[in-house]
């Protein structure tokens, strides 16, 4: 097994605290998913009640016709994700607790990225596409720089009877798309912004505009290209399940080696494809 070591003794003195390179940290997308799946072993099932048909009138015999609810289930298989760091206790840094702190931070971040990547992959695999040869379609990627394009994207959900008044419509956009949106006059108008972000909130805050909760996410498929895949969806349409919170452990092995590892068991699945709409964004468009 490979053991994490520092090259020779390239430093005999070190800082009390390390300075970290940049990386994506917390899982941003799981807050926008339904998490009410039923877990049995390594299988998760999300229940769906089908839409009702039209109301009936009395029959010729005066009896009221009976109806039956339609039930369906979407099934996903849980998968374990791990991040493990060993360090040889003969290493020059063995006495520095900051090494273990760095392992913890990097391990947690890796698990959180796995969660977001799983949700992204599920939407990549199953979602509703915008009509071909119109703005946002796979063959007509555009910049999200006008209110008309935002409304057109949203209209696919509204015309599918997705509720817009329960605060559960989400959109995940690329960094370039969010910068394009900031050029829209209505983006800054109090007539469209339902509430202002709280002061001193982190930069990953959710922006609520045009009845949609907007998330900026730097891990979308095709980011930085002329065909970045972005999504708008209702929370009930996307399922995500963790069997337990992100677990971690610290221990020593028999060969005098310290290890720390993190894991989660999770699955993401599209529950209602018509409740998720894909928009192809041109990230190469001039800002």
Which pLDDT does position 138 carry in this prediction?
A: 94
Give the phi and the psi of residue 177 in degrees, each rounded to 5: -65, -40
Q: What's the predicted TM-score (pTM) here?
A: 0.85
Q: How confident is the model at residue 152 (pLDDT cuts 50, 70, 90)?
A: very high
| Spatial CA neighbour of 260 closest among 111, 110, 87, 92 | 87
Q: How confident is the model at residue 280 (pLDDT cuts 50, 70, 90)?
A: very high
How many CB atoms sit inside 10 A of residue 177's CB?
Answer: 25
Contacts of residue 199, Cβ cutoff 8 Å, sequence gap at least 6: none
Decide which of 27 and 150 is more confident: 150
The model's pLDDT over 79-110, given as tens digits with 9 standing for 90+, comes to: 999 888 877 665 555 556 677 778 878 888 89
Q: What percent of the chain has pLDDT over 90?
A: 52
Four-point Cα dihedral 277, 137, 285, 114, nearest 10 = 40
Which pLDDT does position 1 carry in this prediction?
A: 47
Spatial contact of 147 and 189, defined as CB atoms under 8 Å apart: no
The model's pLDDT over 187-208, given as tens digits with 9 standing for 90+, comes to: 888 777 766 665 555 555 788 8
The model's pLDDT over 31-55, given as tens digits with 9 standing for 90+, comes to: 999 999 999 999 999 999 888 788 8
Domains and CATH numbers, the chain: 29-53+69-122+241-268 (no CATH), 129-240+271-281 (3.30.2320)
Residue 56 in this model has a pLDDT that exceeds 90: no
């Amino acid at each position: 097994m490979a053991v994490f070591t520092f090259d020779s003794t390239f430093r005999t003195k070190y800082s009390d605290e390390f300075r970290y390179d940049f990386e994506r940290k917390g899982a941003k997308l799981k807050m926008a998913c339904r998490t009410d799946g039923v877990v049995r072993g390594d299988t998760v099932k999300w229940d769906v009640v089908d839409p009702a048909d039209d109301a009936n009138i009395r029959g010729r015999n005066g009896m009221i016709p009976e109806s039956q609810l339609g039930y369906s289930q979407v099934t996903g298989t849980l998968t374990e994700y791990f991040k493990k760091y060993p360090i040889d206790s003969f290493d020059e840094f063995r006495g520095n607790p900051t090494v273990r702190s760095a392992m913890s931070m990097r391990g947690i971040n890796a698990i959180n990225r796995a969660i977001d990547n799983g949700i992204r992959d599920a939407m990549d695999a199953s979602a509703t596409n915008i009509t071909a040869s119109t703005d946002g379609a796979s063959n007509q990627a555009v910049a999200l720089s006008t209110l008309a394009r935002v409304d057109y994207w949203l209209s696919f959900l509204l015309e599918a009877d997705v509720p817009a008044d329960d605060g559960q419509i989400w959109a995940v956009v690329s960094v370039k798309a969010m910068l394009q949106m900031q050029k829209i006059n209505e983006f800054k108008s109090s007539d469209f912004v339902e509430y202002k972000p709280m002061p001193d909130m982190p930069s990953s805050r959710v922006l609520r505009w045009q009845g949609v909760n907007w998330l900026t996410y730097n891990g979308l498929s095709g980011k930085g290209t002329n065909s970045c895949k972005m999504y708008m969806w209702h929370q009930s349409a996307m399922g995500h399940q963790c069997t337990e919170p992100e677990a971690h452990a610290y221990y020593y092995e028999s060969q005098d080696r310290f290890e720390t590892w993190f894991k989660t068991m999770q699955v993401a699945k599209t529950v209602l494809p018509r409740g998720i709409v894909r928009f192809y964004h041109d990230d190469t468009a001039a800002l």
